[in-house]
Structure 1
Amino acid sequence: MSRRSWKHYQPNSLRDALEGCKDFARDRQNKSVERIAAEMGLADHWVLYKWLQNGRMPTSLLIAYEKTCGINLVSRWLSASSGKLLIDMPTGRQGQARDIQALQNQLHQVTGLLMDFYESKTSAERTLEGIHNAMQSLAWHRGNVQQHRQPQLEL
């Protein structure tokens, strides 16, 4: 089984986003549902299991859940379902060659996905996911160029 690329993963539903956060915490931080619930301050981990099953977590706990799991898949899904892009806050740091190469690679892959989609070789969901991720990367670079004159301090 190949490892999931979490940086470019775009969930399809709220339940998928909640499950994805849990899977990320398990894969990258070796956290169980019980440990996630304890770090969120929940008295009973079965409540978290119920929320994961039906996709109905209280909004006031979503940020705590994402911080505990270490990934913001729920926020990504919420923004994408509203037709918005969610990008990391650009810091205005000097771009490096590997940043531009990664962007070029991503745009090249999206072009391939578009060609495959129009030839009915790939699904619309996969193509939209690729387009969304490429747009996020371009938007980050746009913001980084705008911030370049007043860079933030990296802590």
Structure 2
Amino acid sequence: MSAQDLSAAAALAAVVISLINVGLSSLLVRRQEGQRWRREQLPETVTKLVEAAFRWEVKVFESDWQLVPEADRHLFGMEEARVAMELASKLDVFAAPETISAAQRMLDAVDQIRMHNLRVLSKSSDENPRSWSLYWEWAEAQYAFLKASRREMGP
């Protein structure tokens, strides 16, 4: 092998190594940017979701459903639900599966309160629509969501 061939092979190897280096660097930068974006977005989205879920819970748990016209009961609290579900959908884009599941369980717990109130009122009974056991399920689901979110955000 001549000196020229050896120089050409060395130059080609240098080009290949440079391309691999640029590719890996680009991949790492994109990954770091994605993680930074996630760290910036997650706290804000979690906070807004917890607040929206709380507003929905207050609407369906604290309100006197007997004052709501019967024809409007099936839509009662649904505007608050829509806001919370939009935020949960945003969370679905970048959060970890555990955090997403915990958020869904929290929203499901609020919906269980709403459905309980609808069932109780449809029976025309004197039973109190407020169910403290469902309230505590919601509170525990909210805590689990916050715990999963904090774990994902890290120290």
Q: Which bin holds the TM-score, normalised by the shorter protein? A: 0.3 to 0.5
More helix by share: 2
| TM-score of the two chains, using structure 2 as the length reference | 0.32
Kindly name which structure, 1 or 2, has the bigger radius of gyration based on alpha carbons. 2
